[in-house]
Copies of this chain bind each other. A is one copy, B any other.
Amino acid sequence: MFNLNFVTLAGIFALVFAGLLAVWILRQPRGEEKVSNLSDTIYSGALTFLNSEYKPLAVFVGIMAIILYVTDIPDEAAFAFIGGAFCSALAGNIGMRIATKSNSRAAVGAKKEIGKGLQIGFSSGAVMGMTVVGLALIGLTLIWNWRPDPGILIGFGFGASSIALFARVAGGIYTKSADMGADLVGKVEEKIPEDDPRNPAVIADNVGDNVGDVAGMGADLFESYAGSIISAITIGFGGIVIAGNNISSADAVLYPLTLAAFGVFASMIGAIFVRPGKGSDIGSLHNALNKGVFGSALIMVIFAYLLTNHFLGVLGPFYAMVSGLAAGIAIGLACEYFTESRFSPTQGIAEASQTGPATNIVRGFSVGLSSTLIPVISVCIAIGLSYHFAGLYGIPIAAVGMLSTLGMTLATDTYGPVNDNAAGIAEMGNMGSEVRTRAERLDAVGNTTAAIGKGFAIGSAALTAVALFSAYIDKIGIGAQQLSISEPMVIIGLFIGGLLTFIFSALTMEAVGKGASSMVEEVRRQFEKIPGLLKGEAEPQYEKCVEISTKAGLKNMVIPGGLAVITPILVGMWSVEALGGLLAGAIVTGLLLAITLANSGGAWDNAKKYIEEGNLGGKGSEAHAAAVTGDTVGDPFKDTSGPSLNILIKLMAMISLLFVPLFV
């Protein structure tokens, strides 16, 4: 039973499951013409962006494949690289297509019954989740069957990473340029509601949710998932010893793949739990999602125990996996605590808004900084325990364990943007405020479960990066004393690695700022020049705004993306010790910065919502205006710079590992 075919089969199952769900979604009613037209506009806007993005990416993939082919790196890695890039792009593409097909259907569903809206949104997310894991498992096993060499697999991982980085950066810049631009003129200057169809940037904003939060996230988690498995295989390939037991190379390679394959089934079972009954209230919807997430995690733990016990005969890797899983849950709960308005940090930001935007910003930023405590400690404990129980091999296994139920957790993540879009469509399509409220409530329901998913994403990124980094150190094969933190080369590397994460964040943030400024000018221009627009008597030129976002995203992904790819190669050719330091510095600083940016952004967002619920003066108060400022500042923090950092640290580790033959 435990062989590569089983893993491939699990991948095929995942894709079939995704296909069935997709068929079910497409059978749901699309709504009246106005509503389905909106959905079509968003769909074609999103596809236009993806298609424009593929051109420069194809050039990049082509050039990089040639470089891989002509240098001392195994030639097969070049093909694996193309495969990884293709699968990553495909996963994001499919996820986005289905998400943009689901938005109006979720709105129509929610109109009928709130539970129906949940089911459509969740299924859309599950299509994406299952596609990601299915493509990854099939891709990895195909390559391994072709050439059983970790170096080739790393090529696959690098392909996935680079697409993920560019997609996250470009998508993040796209979505936040549109969002900030739409809000700054619409909500702040013209005082028209969010998602108002008179706002020329509203379509770009809704397209952005899909290209950033769906396609970007799909590519991101595809690479996390593949990356964690690849790093486990790389470390396990030489054979390992755990608690005195020898584990053969073949077993050490097959174990993480089989773990992931079991995860597919755990996710499917979990997904079936998510069945809200008729007439369900919010509480039971919440429970339905929770059952799915925790149910699949629990099933996974049982599967992992049985598998580890029978297949490896030594439980170390199982404990490693459990410590990873526990860390992921702890990180998720901590992120929830720091960003949800039920808890004091976010309420504190709302209170600080009463003395204006400056105190709101200072408080929010300090909440973001504080929120690093539990996640970083959790990562440290997970590293310590997984190493203790299963040596270096334990670290990626912890990440594999955390991501094994990705099919399920990604569904709760993607579910949010689909209902966000549904709420927008309800507003633009005049479906009535009840539908809008329901869609927004559905979005909110997903936040809690999404927090756990985000915890897994952050934790696994850190663990995977540490594992890849360890594999790099192992592969360069120089004495450990040369890599001592007392060596000036290593210290210099640490500084450069930390620096890269700061510069990378600066570049992405600045790109959003500039994109938003262009958007503001365009929206202002349309309000001025198109007669009757504000009165709703004329149509805005949505496509102009879509174009601005597209340009901002594509133009500005080049430098940060290039920096991430080129710097490790240059530093590595100069000194492998400095590159080791660079990776360690980037992982540490990148994790801290990513958490700070993500959580301060999330907390600002929810502090604003808390006030909008009627607290501290409610909508229209001074406090609300200050909180809107915080929310806008948080946009590029949480949706552009923050999430890109997670990919950056893995990408740099992956590229370093792949290019070792060039360095030594």
Q: Which residues of A contact B (CB under 8 A)?
A: 180, 184, 188, 352, 355-359, 361-363, 365-370, 372-373, 376-377, 379-380, 383-384, 387, 395, 466, 469-470, 473-474, 479-488, 490-492, 494-499, 502-503, 505-507, 509-510, 512-513, 516-517, 520, 580-581, 584-585, 588-589, 591-592, 596, 628-629, 632-633, 636
CA distance in complex: A69, B470 (Å): 42
Instruction: Specify which chain B residues have a CB less than 8 angstroms from the CB of A485 in the assembled complex.
Output: 473, 483-485, 490, 580-581, 584
Among A483, A496, A580, A588, the most chain B Cβ lie within 10 Å of the Cβ of: A588
CA distance in complex: A479, B484 (Å): 9
How many copies of this chain are found per oligomer? Answer: 2
Q: A513 to B362, Cβ gap below 8 A? A: yes
CA distance in complex: A474, B484 (Å): 12
CA distance in complex: A498, B375 (Å): 13
CA distance in complex: A297, B512 (Å): 42
Q: B376 to A495, Cβ gap below 8 A? A: yes
Q: A502 to B588, Cβ gap below 8 A? A: no
Instruction: Specify which chain B residues have a CB less than 8 angstroms from the CB of A596 in the assembled complex.
Output: 502
Q: A516 to B480, Cβ gap below 8 A? A: no
Q: Which residue of B lies closest to A380 (CB)?
A: B492
Q: A509 to B369, Cβ gap below 8 A? A: yes
Q: A633 to B358, Cβ gap below 8 A? A: yes
Among A356, A377, A503, the most chain B Cβ lie within 10 Å of the Cβ of: A356
Contact partner of A355 (CB less than 8 A), chosen from B355, B469, B516, B633, is: B516
Q: Which residue of B lies closest to A351 (CB)?
A: B517
CA distance in complex: A545, B367 (Å): 26
Interface secondary structure of A, over-half rule: helix
Q: B509 to A362, Cβ gap below 8 A? A: yes
On whether A180 and B358 interact (CB within 8 A), knowing A369-B509, A584-B494, A589-B498, the answer reads yes
CA distance in complex: A171, B641 (Å): 33
Among A469, A507, A516, the most chain B Cβ lie within 10 Å of the Cβ of: A516
Contact partner of A491 (CB less than 8 A), chosen from B507, B520, B584, is: B584
Nearest chain B CB to A476 CB, angstrom units = 10
CA distance in complex: A479, B379 (Å): 26
Q: B361 to A633, Cβ gap below 8 A? A: yes
CA distance in complex: A284, B581 (Å): 47
Nearest chain B CB to A525 CB, angstrom units = 14
Nearest chain B CB to A130 CB, angstrom units = 33
CA distance in complex: A629, B474 (Å): 50
Contact partner of A366 (CB less than 8 A), chosen from B373, B494, B496, B506, is: B506
Q: B513 to A376, Cβ gap below 8 A? A: no
CA distance in complex: A390, B223 (Å): 45
Q: A512 to B362, Cβ gap below 8 A? A: yes
CA distance in complex: A180, B512 (Å): 29
Contact partner of A372 (CB less than 8 A), chosen from B380, B502, B510, is: B502
Q: A592 to B591, Cβ gap below 8 A? A: no
CA distance in complex: A498, B370 (Å): 12
Q: B486 to A484, Cβ gap below 8 A? A: no
Contact partner of A352 (CB less than 8 A), chosen from B366, B367, B486, B517, is: B517
Nearest chain B CB to A64 CB, angstrom units = 25
Instruction: Specify which chain B residues have a CB less than 8 angstroms from the CB of A517 in the assembled complex.
Output: 352, 355, 359
